[in-house]
C-alpha cells in the first residue's frame, strides 16, 4: 500500500487508536433518547458549619452576613461586625434531578466553597433550598459532607490531598416538587419524538425504518438530523411505556462522519480505520538552527602601571550552527487510509509532532477526507 524510503531514523513516541467505521448494530436506547427525557440542574447557596478553624476568614463579609441572617431566624440578634468565626464556610450547592423524579426522592449534591475556606473536612451542610432556572425551589439539601481529601498546615508546613474545598452529600437533597416533564413523554399523547445523541441524517432515517418495520409503515418519520417523530398506534394509546420499551430495544446500524482526533499533549491519534486519503506524496525533514555564544576575556601581556590604558576586555564570539537532517518520503496510493499512513510513520519512528504536522498538512491540501479535530 505504501512505498517508503528511509533517509534517516527519527526518534519519537506515538500512540495510535483505531476505531472501526463499520459499526455493528446497536439498540436505539444506546444512541437516542425520548425527547423530554432529560436531567434538570438545580443550584443553591448554603452554609457549612462545624469546621475546625478551616472555614472562611473574618474578612469575608458575605459569610458573616449569612451567619447573622441565620441567627436572626432563631431570634438571636448578632450584628455582622460581631461575627468572627472560622468554623463556617459559604458554599454553592448543586444537583441534577432525574427526568421523572417524584416528591420524596433523594439525589446526591455537590458542595463547593465560594469563599477562602481552606478545607470542608468535618463540615455539615445546613438546610439549603435548591432552585431551577425558573426560580422554583425543587429540592432541599442538608447533611454531613464527604470530602475525598484533606489539608493540614502548621508552622508553615502544609500537607494536602486532592481538593478539600469540594465535597458531596450522598442522598443529601430531598425532592419537594417534581421537575417539569415534556408533554411528548406523558401518557395520553398521540405523538412523541426520539432524539439522537449524535446528529446524523442517515442514522435518523435508519431509526425510522427500524420502527416502521416493527410497528408498521408510517409509524415513524425522520424530522431532521436529530429527531424522529413517532405516531402512537391505536393499540398503544394509554400504554406509552410499553411502546417505548418495544422501540428502544430495536437494533440499528448507526452512521457518522469520518473524523481524525489528535491530542498533541499526549501524542494520541484516534481515527476511523477506513478514513480515506487521496493519492499524495509526503516528504519531510528536520531543520535545526542553534546560536552559540562563547564569552571570553582578552588578557594583554602588559598590565597595570607598566602600560597605562591597557586593561582586560571581555568579548563574545557568536556562531550560528545550521543542521538539516535527512527526512523521509512516503507516496500514498489510491485507497490508502489514515491507519496505513500512521502505521507507516510509526515504522519510520516518526515523532508525534511530525505526525500531527503531516496530518494537518494533508487536511490543508485536501487529501484527508475527514474532519480533523486537534485537542
pLDDT tens readout for residues 105-128: 999 999 999 988 888 988 999 999
Long-range contacts, stretch 159-166, CB < 8 angstroms, 24+ apart: 164/54, 164/118, 164/119, 164/120, 164/121, 165/112, 165/113, 165/117, 165/118, 165/119, 165/120, 166/110, 166/111, 166/112, 166/113, 166/120
Are 157 and 166 a contacting pair, CB within 8 Å? no
The C-alpha angle 83, 86, 89, rounded to 5 degrees, equals: 95
Tell me what pLDDT residue 79 has: 86
Q: What is the pLDDT of residue 272?
A: 67
Q: How far apart are CA 274 and CA 295, in angstroms?
A: 57
Q: What is the pLDDT of residue 110?
A: 94
Residue bearing the bigger pLDDT, 99 or 324 = 99
Q: Is residue 25 over pLDDT 50?
A: yes
Higher pLDDT, 277 or 299: 277
**In whole numbers, what is the pLDDT of the chain averaged over residues?**
78
Q: Say what the pLDDT of residue 142 is.
A: 95
Residue 35 pLDDT level (bands cut at 50, 70, 90) = confident
Between the CA of residue 253 and those of 49, 99, 203, 206, what are the distances in Å? 54, 27, 7, 7
Confidence of residue 10 (pLDDT cuts 50, 70, 90): very low
- In this prediction, residue 75 carries a pLDDT of 86
| pLDDT at residue 20 in the model | 42
C-alpha–C-alpha distance, residues 224 and 219, integer Å: 16
Q: What is the DSSP letter of 24?
A: P
The pLDDT value recorded for residue 90 is 93
pLDDT given at position 153: 66
Range name among 229-233, 253-257, 329-333, 367-371 with the lowest pLDDT average: 329-333
The pLDDT value given to residue 217: 86
Helices then strands, counting H and E runs in the chain, come out as 6, 21
Q: What is the mean pLDDT of residues 120-137?
A: 92
* Residue 11 pLDDT > 80: no
Percent of the chain exceeding pLDDT 90 equals: 22
Cα→Cα distances 333→70, 216, 251, 284, 372, Å: 74, 47, 37, 18, 21
> For the ranges 43-52, 64-73, 174-183, 339-348, which has the lowest average pLDDT?
339-348
* 73-91 mean pLDDT: 86
Q: Compare 204 and 262 and report the one with higher pLDDT.
A: 204
Q: Residue 43's pLDDT is what?
A: 95
Q: Average of pLDDT values for 332-352? A: 70
Give the residue, 134 or 306, on which the prediction is more confident: 134
CA 9 to chain centroid, in Å, comes to 36
pLDDT for residue 369: 77
pLDDT at 88: 92
Q: What is the pLDDT of residue 14?
A: 38
Residue 46 has which C-alpha cell?
448554603
Least confident residue range of 53-57, 172-176, 232-236, 337-341: 337-341
Q: Output the pTM of the full model.
A: 0.60
pLDDT tier for residue 331 given thresholds of 50, 70 and 90: low
pLDDT at 157 over 80: no
Helix (H, G, I), strand (E, B) or coil at 20: coil
Of these ranges, 21-30, 130-139, 174-183, 251-260, the one predicted with the greatest mean pLDDT is 130-139
**Residue 216: which pLDDT band, with cuts at 50, 70 and 90?**
confident
Amino acid at each position: 500500500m505504501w512505498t517508503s524510503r528511509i533517509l534517516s531514523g527519527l526518534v519519537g513516541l506515538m500512540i495510535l487508536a483505531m476505531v472501526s467505521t463499520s459499526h455493528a448494530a446497536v439498540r436505539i436506547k444506546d444512541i437516542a433518547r425520548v425527547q423530554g427525557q432529560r436531567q434538570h440542574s438545580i443550584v443553591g447557596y448554603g452554609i457549612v458549619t462545624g469546621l475546625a478553624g478551616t472555614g472562611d476568614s473574618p474578612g469575608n463579609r458575605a459569610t458573616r452576613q449569612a451567619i447573622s441572617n441565620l441567627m436572626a431566624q432563631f431570634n438571636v440578634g448578632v450584628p455582622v461586625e460581631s461575627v468572627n468565626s472560622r468554623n463556617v464556610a459559604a458554599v454553592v450547592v448543586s444537583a441534577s434531578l432525574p427526568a421523572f423524579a417524584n416528591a420524596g426522592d433523594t439525589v446526591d449534591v455537590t458542595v463547593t466553597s465560594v469563599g477562602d475556606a481552606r478545607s470542608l473536612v468535618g463540615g455539615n451542610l445546613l438546610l439549603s433550598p435548591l432552585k431551577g432556572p425558573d426560580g422554583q425551589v425543587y429540592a432541599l439539601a442538608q447533611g454531613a459532607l464527604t470530602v475525598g481529601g484533606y489539608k493540614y498546615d502548621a508552622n508553615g508546613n502544609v500537607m494536602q490531598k486532592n481538593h478539600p474545598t469540594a465535597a458531596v452529600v450522598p442522598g443529601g437533597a430531598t425532592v419537594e416538587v417534581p421537575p417539569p416533564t415534556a408533554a411528548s413523554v406523558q401518557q395520553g399523547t398521540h405523538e412523541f419524538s426520539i432524539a439522537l445523541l449524535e446528529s446524523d441524517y442517515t442514522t435518523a432515517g435508519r431509526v425510522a425504518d427500524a420502527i416502521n418495520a416493527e410497528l408498521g409503515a408510517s409509524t415513524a418519520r425522520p424530522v431532521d438530523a436529530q429527531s424522529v417523530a413517532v405516531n402512537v398506534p391505536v393499540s398503544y394509546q394509554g400504554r406509552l411505556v410499553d411502546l417505548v420499551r418495544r422501540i428502544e430495544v430495536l437494533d440499528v446500524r448507526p452512521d457518522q462522519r469520518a473524523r481524525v482526533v489528535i491530542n498533541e499533549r499526549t501524542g494520541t491519534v484516534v481515527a476511523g480505520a477506513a478514513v480515506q486519503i487521496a493519492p499524495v506524496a509526503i516528504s519531510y525533514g528536520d531543520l535545526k538552527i542553534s546560536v552559540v555564544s562563547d564569552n571570553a576575556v582578552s588578557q594583554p601581556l602588559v598590565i597595570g602601571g607598566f602600560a597605562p590604558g591597557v586593561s582586560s576586555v571581555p568579548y563574545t564570539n557568536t556562531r550560528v550552527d545550521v543542521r538539516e537532517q535527512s527526512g523521509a518520503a512516503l507516496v500514498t496510493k489510491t485507497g490508502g487510509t489514515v491507519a496505513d499512513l500512521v502505521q507507516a510513520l510509526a515504522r519510520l519512528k516518526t515523532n508525534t509532532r511530525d505526525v500531527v504536522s503531516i496530518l494537518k498538512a494533508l487536511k490543508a491540501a485536501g487529501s484527508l477526507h475527514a474532519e480533523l479535530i486537534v485537542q
